[in-house]
């Protein structure tokens, strides 16, 4: 038998997700018992993976670092409340992706507000030719669109909100979040969009 000492986290990495999930569970248990070394090793091993996961959703590098740090801080803060340590790895990945989605949504909302502010400034500084009419028409169109979105079934609203907020949505995470098979996400999304198009085309106020 070899006397070589193998780092448990590195062994988990080589062993794949199953090994990582086991090491994450052991790290949580050890931390609760007062041994912080396994969790520190887990942080070093998994931080690059979490960072790449967040970046893949369209988050910039600096913001991705903040998100990953907050994920670890949240884990440590709530570590005594974890009932299933073996779900720790999945929790880390899902939490990182959801935080990335929220960050991307906030960035897009900020960009929309900035665009609206710029458009408003341009309208104020430009001649009055049709600007008020165009603004009213656009606001009315947006109102009608979002009214029909709100009228969709809850599952459609949830699905569209998840897949529409990122350029490359992770269908595995969407599946776990909504409890639907990965293979059903695309067809369900298509049916939801078809319902929205039908509702809009039947609304005389939509043009």
> What are the residue ranges spanned by the domains of the chain?
8-98, 127-201
| Percent of the residues in the chain that have a pLDDT greater than 90, as a whole number | 20
Enter the CATH code of domain 8-98: 1.10.1740
Enter the CATH code of domain 127-201: 1.10.10.10
Q: What is the band of 9 on the pLDDT scale with cuts at 50, 70, 90?
A: very low
Residue 12, SS3 per DSSP:
helix
Distance CA 70, CA 6 (A): 29
The distance in angstroms from the start CA to the end CA of the chain is 77
Distance CA 148, CA 97 (A): 28
Do 127-201 and 8-98 fall under one CATH topology?
no
Q: Kindly report the pTM of this predicted structure.
A: 0.48
Q: What letter would DSSP give residue 57? A: T
**Token digits for 96?**
């990182």
């Amino acid at each position: 038998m070899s006397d070589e000492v193998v780092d448990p986290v590195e062994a988990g990495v080589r062993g794949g997700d199953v090994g990582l999930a086991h090491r994450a569970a052991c790290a949580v248990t050890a931390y609760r018992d007062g041994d912080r070394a396994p969790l520190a090793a887990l942080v070093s091993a998994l931080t690059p993976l979490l960072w790449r996961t967040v970046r893949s959703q369209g988050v910039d590098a600096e913001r991705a670092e903040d998100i990953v740090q907050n994920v670890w801080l949240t884990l440590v803060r709530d570590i005594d409340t974890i009932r299933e340590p073996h779900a720790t790895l999945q929790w880390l990945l899902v939490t990182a992706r959801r935080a990335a989605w929220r960050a991307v949504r906030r960035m897009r909302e900020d960009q929309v507000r900035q665009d609206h502010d710029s458009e408003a400034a341009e309208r104020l500084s430009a001649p009055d030719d049709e600007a008020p009419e165009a603004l009213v028409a656009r606001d009315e169109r947006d109102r009608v669109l979002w009214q029909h979105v709100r009228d969709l079934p809850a599952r459609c609203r949830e699905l569209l909100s998840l897949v529409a907020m990122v350029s490359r949505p992770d269908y595995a995470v969407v599946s776990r979040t909504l409890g639907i098979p990965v293979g059903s996400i695309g067809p369900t999304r298509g049916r939801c969009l078809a319902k929205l198009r039908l509702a809009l085309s039947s609304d005389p106020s939509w043009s």
